[in-house]
A = this chain, B = another copy of it.
Amino acid sequence: MVWCSGWELASAVSNAGGLGLIGAGSMHPEILKIHIQKANQSTRFPFGVNVPLLYPEIDKLMEIIINEKVEIVFTSAGNPATWIKTLKDAGIKVVHVVANTKFAKKAEEAGVDAIVAEGFEAGGHNGREETTTMTLIPLIKAVTNLPLIAAGGIATGRGMLAAIALGAEGVQIGSRFVASKESSAHENFKNEVIKTGEGGTQLSMRKLIPVRLIKNKFADEINKAESEGKSTQYLKELLGSKRAKLGMFEGDLVEGELEIGQVASLIKEIKTAKEIVDEIVEEYLAMKLDLMGKEF
C-alpha cells in the first residue's frame, strides 16, 4: 500500500469499522509523524502503521511510532525479532506479514501477536513459493496458534467468507482500498486499477524480489532485464522507489511501477472507504446466510 495509504484512508477505514493502516514504506519519518497525528485527529478508533523492515531509516520511524502512541504495527519484508521487544515494551501490538510457514513459525517464536498470510495473488511484494491463498491459509493455520489474517485475492464479502472458511480469523484488504476516494494514489492509478481486468497483472522478478505489477511498459522493461540476466543491482535500481512513486503517486501509467493484486479484476468502481467496508460486511453476512440455507 505504498503511496496509497495515508492518514485519510487509514482513518476512514477505522471510522468505517475496519482497522486502517498507514503505509509507512513510502514516507520519510517526519512525513509519517504528520500522518499519524492527522489520523489521530480524524478517528477515535485504533489504526495501525505498516512498516517494511528493510526501511532505511527504521530507527527514526520506530521512534516516531512509539512516541506518537500508535497501537498496532504491521511489519513485513524482514525479521520481526529485531523490533519485537522495543515495540512490545511500548505496549504496541505487532502483526507480521508472511508468505510461507517458515517465516510464520519464526514470527510466532519472535513473539508477534498475529500473522498476516499473503498469497501469490496479492499485489506488490510477494513470496518465492508462489503459494496461493487457497493453499497458504490452511498451511499457516497448521503451524501457528496465533490469530491469522488472510491476504491476497480478497476484495469482497464472498472473498472474506472464503478466507474465514479456510481458517483465517480476519482479512487484510489492500487493492480494493487503493481504488477508494480516500486513497492517496493518483487518480490515474485508481482509474487504471478499476480498468485492470483478468490477466492484467503479473508477478515480475520471480527469482530476485517477486512483485506483482500491472502489465505496462515499465513491467515489460523489468521482465526484459530479468530475462536478459541483468544483475541484481541493476534490477533493484530499475525497481527503485522513484518508479513506484512515479506510477502510483504521480500517475505515470507508462513509466511507473503499478503494484496491485489479481483481484483488481473484480474492482469496478472507486468508492469511499465506508462504502467499501459496508459493502464487504453486507455481502459477507448475506453470503454466510446463503451458505447456511444450502441443503448441503
- In the bound complex, residues from chain B placing their C-beta under 8 Å from that of A163 are 162
**A134 in contact (CB, < 8 A):** yes
Q: Which of B139, B154, B262 contacts A131 (CB 8 A)?
A: B262
Q: Which residues of B contact A131 (CB under 8 A)?
A: 121, 198-199, 262, 265
Cα distance A266–B132 in the bound complex, in angstroms: 13
Q: Does A5 lie at the interface of the complex (its beta carbon under 8 Å from any beta carbon of B)? A: no
Chain B residue numbers with a CB within 8 Å of A294 are: 164
Complex Cα distance, B163 from A167, in Å, reads: 13
Most chain B beta-carbon neighbours within 10 Å: one of A154, A161, A165, A202: A165
B153 and A162 contact, CB distance less than 8 A: no
Chain A interface extent, by class = 35 or more
| Stoichiometry, copies per complex | 2
Scan residues 100-156 of chain A and give those whose CB is less than 8 A from a CB of chain B.
Answer: 100-101, 119-121, 128-135, 138-139, 152-154, 156
| 9-residue interface stretch from A76-84, A186-194, A248-256, A284-292 | A284-292
Q: Chain B nearest CB: distance from A250 CB in Å?
A: 28
Partner of A162 from the list B166, B203, B288 (CB cut-off 8 Å) is B166
| Given known A158-B166, A162-B166, A291-B165, contact A134–B134 (CB-CB < 8 A) | yes
A23 CB, min distance to chain B CBs, angstroms: 22
A274-287 vs B, CB cutoff 8 Å, 1 = contact: the mask equals 00000000000001
A258 part of interface (Cβ distance < 8 Å) = no
- Chain B residues with CB under 8 A of A121: 120, 131-132, 134-135
How far does the alpha carbon of A138 sit from the alpha carbon of B121 in the complex, in Å?
A: 14
Given A152-B134, A153-B134, A291-B164: A128 in contact with B158 (beta carbons within 8 A): no
Could you say which residues of chain B place their CB within 8 Å of the CB of A133?
A: 132, 134
Q: Provide the bound-state CA to CA distance between A153 and B153, in Å.
A: 13
Q: CA A121 – CA B131 in complex, angstroms? A: 8
C-alpha gap A156/B129 in the complex (Å): 21
A101 touching B159 in the complex, CB below 8 Å, given contacts A134-B133, A139-B266:
no
Query: Are B199 and A100 in contact, with the CB atoms below 8 A?
Result: yes
Q: For residue A135, which residues in chain B have a CB less than 8 angstroms away from its CB?
A: 121, 153, 262-263, 265-266
Which among A133, A135, A161, A263 has the highest number of chain B CB atoms within 10 Å? A135
- A165 nearest CB across to chain B (Å): 4
Which residue of chain B lies nearest to A288 when distances are taken between CB atoms in the complex?
Answer: B291
A interface residues with partner B (beta carbon < 8 Å): 100-101, 119-121, 128-135, 138-139, 152-154, 156, 158-159, 161-167, 198-199, 202-203, 227, 262-263, 265-266, 287-288, 291-292, 294
Please give me the 5 A-B residue pairs with the lowest Cβ-Cβ distance, nearest first.
Answer: A134-B153, A129-B199, A162-B162, A161-B165, A132-B132
